[in-house]
Copies of this chain bind each other. A is one copy, B any other.
Amino acid sequence: MFDFKQYMKNQQKRVNEKLASLFAQAPQKSRLLSAMHYSLMAGGKRIRPILCISAASAANENDMDVLPTACAIECIHTYSLIHDDLPSMDNDDLRRGNPTCHKAFDEATAILAGDALLTLAFEILSEETLSHTPQVRLEIIRIIANAAGPYGMIEGQMRDIASETKRLSENELEQLHNLKTGALITASVNAGAILAKATEKQQQQLNVYAQNIGLAFQVIDDVLNVKGDPERLGKAVGTDSDLQKNTYPSLIGPDLAEEKARQLVNNAIESLQDFDSRAEPLRAIANYIFQRDH
């Protein structure tokens, strides 16, 4: 019987140790490094790096040396959170109960810490590993840069800001989420698959998995904001409708939104039907996304 909680705990530990080691060789702990460290080690669930690791495991039983890539993706995710929280963007003072980077430090330091985490990610990705050819590493860099760049995550954030003052269609909302969160989630899974030398067919199936959970993740986030239990969620609910945000529950109603999320998760799990028990972590992550507060 696959123990999901234990699996997550083990992988989080691996990821956290590797991330912490990025700062271990630093000649001196500058204010910049302190700010990077502060946000990177602020208790994220490490979903993206674990998806990368789990996709690699699903395709290949060997440890394929995916940890550096997984951690580079977490650096990119963290930079995006730091910049999204800035006063000129979402203007958030708190993240996971702690002051955001620009509150704990200052705005200039937060911008530069984000820039530095993004740059560091590509330095990590450029470093040699034992298991992968330079050709493969370049492909990983291309996939991640493309997903995080002006045709992916950053365009998603642009649209998210613009959407605050207008009403989106369901299709526009889906595009926004696919760019803002889906692209990097998909890149995480695809990178893991490529590092593990998955077959073309496996890569396609894992890609379908990723696209479905990427969107499911966001739909469920919206649903929980309407129907969730604030005590179990650890944060306030109902804040989205207060702000008249574009959400799935407000567009199609909370019940249909929940149904949509269930369908996306089912599609994700179905896309893994040719995989054996090594894909259990990916299946469990899909279920976890749907059930995280139901």
Contacts and interface: CB of A to CB of B under 8 A. Distances in A.
Nearest to A161: B108
Given A88-B108, A89-B111, A155-B32, A119 B118 contact: yes
A154 B112 contact: yes
A161 to B, nearest CB: 6
B88 A150 contact: no
A150 B134 CA distance: 24
Contacts of A125: 141
B122 A145 contact: yes
A109 B133 CA distance: 37
A118 B26 CA distance: 23
A251 interface: no
Interface in A142-158: 142, 145-146, 148-151, 154-155, 157-158
Contacts of A137: 134, 138
Interface in A99-150: 106-109, 111-112, 114-116, 118-120, 122-123, 125-128, 133-135, 137-139, 141-142, 145-146, 148-150
A30 B146 contact: no
A36 B149 CA distance: 12
Copies in the complex: 2
Contact of A83 (B111, B139, B150): B111
A216 B249 CA distance: 60
B158 A112 contact: yes
A111 B109 contact: no
Given A116-B154, A126-B142, A134-B137, 20 more contacts: A26-B151, A32-B155, A36-B150, A83-B112, A88-B106, A88-B107, A88-B108, A111-B111, A115-B115, A116-B150, A118-B118, A119-B145, A119-B148, A119-B150, A120-B145, A122-B145, A123-B142, A126-B138, A126-B139, A126-B145
18 contacts: A31-B158, A86-B108, A86-B111, A88-B106, A88-B111, A108-B161, A112-B154, A112-B157, A112-B158, A115-B118, A116-B150, A119-B149, A120-B145, A122-B145, A123-B142, A123-B146, A134-B138, A137-B138
